[in-house]
Amino acid sequence: MDDDEATGRLAAASLAAGDPTGWFEQLYTEARHGAAIVPWDRDDPHSLLVEWTADRRPTGAGRRAVVVGCGYGRDAEHIAGLGFATVAFDISPTAVAAARDRHPGSPVDYRTADLLDPPPAWRRSFDLVVESMTVQALPAEIRAAAIDAVGELVAPGGTLLVIAAGRADRDPAPVGPPWPLTRAEVDAFAGAGLAPVGVEDIRDQSGVRRWRAELQREPIG
């Protein structure tokens, strides 16, 4: 089955049932049995993440990072390789189990968790938060809450990196998923007390639009 076809079918059924995130586990389960393909299944970390870390050279030693919606772990492994004590979570237990299987001996702490109801101990406790292409997979009715929840993971003095597909504010949202973020939605990540460092509007050779945004929380004192 075509990867977009499976994703659309499962997401539509989940949304119709009033469960906006249940389709993730269904998709990963079907993929495990060879009945679907996870569209974002790649061996390498996202190129915009790799470029950002190469440019910023964030220091991981003694610092904590979290990867939101980690899937099979490609971005989490990259962040852990920079020396961060890395937590990576996904709402799908099947995805988390697969990530552990794919990366035996990994230092990443893979967890099953819900972004909308994370462990209380995670609040403002990570020096680096990576949100790569996850919020865009959530429908409008829960997106604002998800954006706020991402921001609340950032510790004082910490950094949030957001990578997402983009669309113009005036463009209608596609049937999706994914539902590319508008600039207004990217700016909304600052609503949790974060200050934007920069927002890049990136187009590839085929015209596909991506956002890469960096935000920071002021240190205490």
Q: Which parts of 72-139 fold into alpha helices (H)?
A: 74-80, 93-102
My answer on whether 52 and 76 are in the same domain is yes
pLDDT at 3: 53
pLDDT above 90: residue 90: yes
Total of domains in the chain: 2
Do the domain assignments include residue 221?
Answer: no
Interval 49-85: pLDDT, tens: 999 999 999 889 999 999 999 999 999 999 999 999 9
pLDDT above 50: residue 174: yes
My answer on whether 9 and 72 are in the same domain is no
With 0.75 as the threshold, say if the pTM is over it: yes
My answer on whether 3 and 81 are in the same domain is no
My answer on whether 57 and 103 are in the same domain is yes
Tokens at residue 74, please? 């490609």
pLDDT above 80: residue 176: no
What residue ranges in 64-206 does DSSP mark as E strands? 64-68, 85-90, 109-112, 126-132, 154-165, 195-203
My answer on whether 34 and 87 are in the same domain is no
pLDDT above 50: residue 97: yes
Average pLDDT over residues 38-44: 92
My answer on whether 56 and 118 are in the same domain is yes
* CA 27/CA 36 separation, integer angstroms: 7
pLDDT band at 1 (very low <50, low <70, confident <90, very high): very low
Range of the domain at 1: 1-39
pLDDT band at 4 (very low <50, low <70, confident <90, very high): low
The more confident residue out of 5 and 120 is 120
My answer on whether 15 and 65 are in the same domain is no
Task: Report the DSSP pairing between strands 109-112 and 126-132.
Answer: unpaired
pLDDT at 59: 86
My answer on whether 28 and 53 are in the same domain is no
Do the domain assignments include residue 25?
Answer: yes
My answer on whether 28 and 47 are in the same domain is no
Do the domain assignments include residue 189?
Answer: yes
